[in-house]
Amino acid sequence: MTSEALLGDRNPRKTHSRREEDVCTLDDYSQERGPTVTFSNLHYCVQESRFCRRKGPVKSILKDVSGVMRPGMNAIMGATGSGKTSLLDVIAGRKDPAGLRQGSVRVDGRLVTSDLRLSSAYVVQDDILMGTLTVRESLLFSANLRLDPGRHSAAEKRSRVLAIIDDLGLADCADTKIGTEFLRGVSGGERKRCSIGMELIPSPSLLFLDEPTTGLDSNTANCIIGLLHKLSRRGKTVIFSIHQPRFSIFRHFDHLTLMHKGEVVYAGVADRALQYFTNLGETLVHNDVFLSFFFFFLASTQCFASGFQIEPLDNPADFFMDVTNGEAQSSVEEINTADCKNILAVKYYQSQLCRDTLHELDRIEHHIADGIMAQHKTDDYATSFLYQMRVVCGRTVLNTLRNPQTSYAQLALNIFFAILVGLIYYQMPLTLPEALQNRSGAFFFLIINMVFGNLSAVELFINERVIFLHENSSGYYRTSVYFLSKIFADLIPNRIVPIFLFSAIAYYMMGLKPAFAAFLCFTLTMSLVSLAGVSLAFLVSASVSSFAMANILIALPFVFMMVFGGYLVNLNAMLSWLSWLKWISIFRYGLNAAFINEMAGQMFYSNTSIIPGELFLRNQDIDYSTWGFWQNQVALLGIILVCMFLAYVQLRRINRWK
C-alpha cells in the first residue's frame, strides 16, 4: 500500500508528472478577496499563578488597542515583550476569551469567536510538522482533511497540492521527508514554506503568521516575505508579527502596527512611519489649552524638541526599535528614556492617524447597527468522522512504519523477557514445594513485566502534544478521531500483537497446563494486564506535558498496585483503611486470574500424597469458580475502559489557548 493510499487518497498518482486535466495554478484557488479585520479598545489580561496559591496578580498584556487591517501585508512589529504576538493571537481568536476584559474583534463586521480558527489559517512560529512524512504527503494530509470530499475529488486535491508545491518552490524537495531528530530532512526555509502550504490548502482569504522569519537566514527570510507579498497581491489579508526585519523585507509592508509595552505607538501606512517619527514633536496640539501646555512642557525638557532623526543608511525597522526602546536621538540630543517610552503611545492617541482609525471603526460599527453585516456560523469540520478516522489512522500507521524503533524495541523486549522467564522457570515440575513456589514467582514476574514493560506508552501523547493541539485547533480532525487512531493504529499492533508472541514462547517453555484453552486464557490475562498498564500510562500522558513528570506519576500507582496485589502483603492482615486499595490493583486481578487458570484442576505431588491446586487457591482466599476467573478479566477490562475514558477527557481538557 502506498503512502498516498494510507493518507486517504484512493487513487494515488503513479508518476509525479501532471496530467493535462490536472494542470492549474494557485491563482485558481485564490479568487476571494480578503476580509477587513477591525479591533477596538482591546484590553487583554492574564492571571499570573504563584506557588501554593491558586491565583496571582493580574497582568495587563494589551492596553486600549484599536486598529483596522485590510487586504494586503499587515505587519505587527515590536521588541520582545511588546505584545505583538498577543495582539496577533487575540485577533486570530487564539487567546482565552476570559482574558479579554474589554473590546471586540470583527472580521468584515462579524464578531470573532473561536470559529475563526477553523475558517482562517494560522502559521505558528515553530514549524509543527510530522517529521516522518514527506513534503508532498504533509500537504496531501492537509488536503484530505480540510477539503470536503463531496466537493473536491481526489484528482482535484492532488492538483491543488501540486499547485502549492510549484508556487512555494518546493518541487525539489517534494518527496523529501520533513526530518526528525534522528532523520535528516528539509531545510528550515523549506519547513516554513511547507507549514505555510498546509495552511493554504483550503484557500483561506485570511492568513495569520507568528514571526515567520524567526530562525531563518536573511535570504530565506526575504523569500518567505516575498511569498507572503505575492499572496497578498492576490487579494488575501496577511497579518503577521515580526521582530526586526531588514529593509528589503520592510519595504513589502502595506500597513504597520508598532507596539510597545502593550500599547500602539504607530498604526498606519508603513511607508509613512518614518516621516511620522521624524516629525514627532515638531507640531503640537493647539486646540486644547491643557494639551498645548502639556506638550510645551515636554518640549521644554527636550524630549520631543524636534522629533527623531534617523541616521544615514540606517534600517527604518531598526530605527523604530531604537525609538520605542528609548535609544534613538532627536536632532538636538539623546532622548530621555524614562520620559519618552510612555509618551509615544500618548502622542499616537492624540495624532490624526489615531483619529482616522477611530472614525473608521465608528463607521463600521454604524453599519453593524444598521444590520448590513450579518453574523454567520461556519462548519466545524470539512470532513466526516469516518473519513477523518481513515486519514489520521493512515498517517499513524505510516509514521510507525517509518519510525519503527519503538515497535522493534517493544517486540524485542517481549521476546527477550519471554525467553528469560522460560529459561529461569523452564519446565516447572509438579512436585511440592517447588511447584507452588516457582509458579508463584513466575506469575508475579510475568505480571510485573506486562505492567512495567509498557512504560513507553507514557510518551505517546507527550511527543505529539504540540502537533495534536495545532491540528485540532485548526480544524483538521476531532479529538475523538485522534484518540481512536492511537488505539487502532498504535495500541493494537504495538501492544497486543507482541503479547501473543510473548505468551507462546513463555507459556510452553515454563511447562504450564498443556490444554490449549488454558493457553488462550493465559494469553487473554496477559493481554488485559498489559492493556490496563497502557491505559493508565495513556491517562498520565494525556494529563501532563513533561516526560519527567509523567514518569513520576506513572511509577507511584504501579508501586502501590504491586504492594497491594496480594503477593507481597497478606491482604487480610492489612489495616482496614488501606485494604480498599486492592480493588484497584492490576497486579491483584492479574495474579488471581493466572493462579486460577493454572491451579484449578491441576494435581501436585509430594512424597506421600497428591494435593489438588484448589487447596492452594482456597488458602489464598481466591474464588476459583468459573465466574471467579472471569470476574478478574471483567475487572481488568473495567480498569482499561475507565482509564481510557479519563485519558480522552484529559485530551479534551488540554488548554488550547496560547
**Is residue 340's pLDDT more than 70?**
no
- Read off the pLDDT of residues 450-503 as tens digits, 9 standing for 90 and up: 888 777 788 888 888 889 988 888 889 999 999 999 888 777 777 788 888 889
Separation between Cα atoms, residue 476 and residue 470, nearest integer Å? 9
Region label for 223, one of left (φ > 0), alpha (ψ between -120 and 50) or beta (otherwise): alpha
pLDDT at residue 389 in the model: 93
Mean of the per-residue pLDDT values of the chain: 80
pTM (2 decimals)?
0.81
3-state secondary structure (DSSP) of residue 447? helix
- Grid coordinates in use for 472? 485540532
Higher pLDDT, 643 or 287: 643
- Read off the pLDDT of residues 514-540 as tens digits, 9 standing for 90 and up: 889 999 999 999 999 999 999 999 999
**Is residue 41's pLDDT more than 80?**
yes
pLDDT at residue 338 in the model: 42
pLDDT at residue 390 in the model: 93
3-state secondary structure 268-298: EEHHHHHHHHHHCCCCCCCCCHHHHHHHHHH
**Is residue 16's pLDDT more than 60?**
no
- Grid coordinates in use for 443? 506469575
- Read off the pLDDT of residues 533-545 as tens digits, 9 standing for 90 and up: 999 999 999 998 8
For the chain, what are the domain ranges? Answer: 3-264, 404-653
Cell 491558586 belongs to residue: 54
Q: What are the phi and psi torsion angles at 330 (to 5°)?
A: -80, 180
Q: Give the side-chain half-sphere CA count within 13 A for 258.
A: 30
Sign of CA dihedral 545, 546, 547, 553: negative
**Is residue 646's pLDDT more than 70?**
yes
212-226, 256-270, 575-589, range with greatest mean pLDDT = 256-270
Least confident among 176-190, 365-379, 591-605, 639-653: 365-379
- Grid coordinates in use for 156? 482535484
Residue 286: which pLDDT band, with cuts at 50, 70 and 90? very low
CA 86 vs CA 101, 262, 455, 466: distances in Å: 14, 9, 38, 19
238's enclosing H/E stretch is strand 237-242
State which CATH number among 3.30.460.30, 3.30.830.10, 1.10.1270.20, 3.40.50.300 fits the domain covering 3-264.
3.40.50.300
- Residue 27: other Cβ atoms inside 10 A: 10
Average pLDDT over every residue of 283-299 = 39
Q: Give the side-chain half-sphere CA count within 13 A for 217.
A: 6
Average pLDDT over every residue of 94-102 = 82
Average pLDDT over every residue of 379-383 = 76
Find out whether 237 and 36 touch, Cβ atoms under 8 Å. Answer: yes
pLDDT at residue 176 in the model: 92
CA 221 vs CA 86, 190, 212, 236: distances in Å: 22, 11, 8, 20
3-state secondary structure (DSSP) of residue 594? helix
User: Cis omega before residue 12 (within 30°)?
Assistant: no
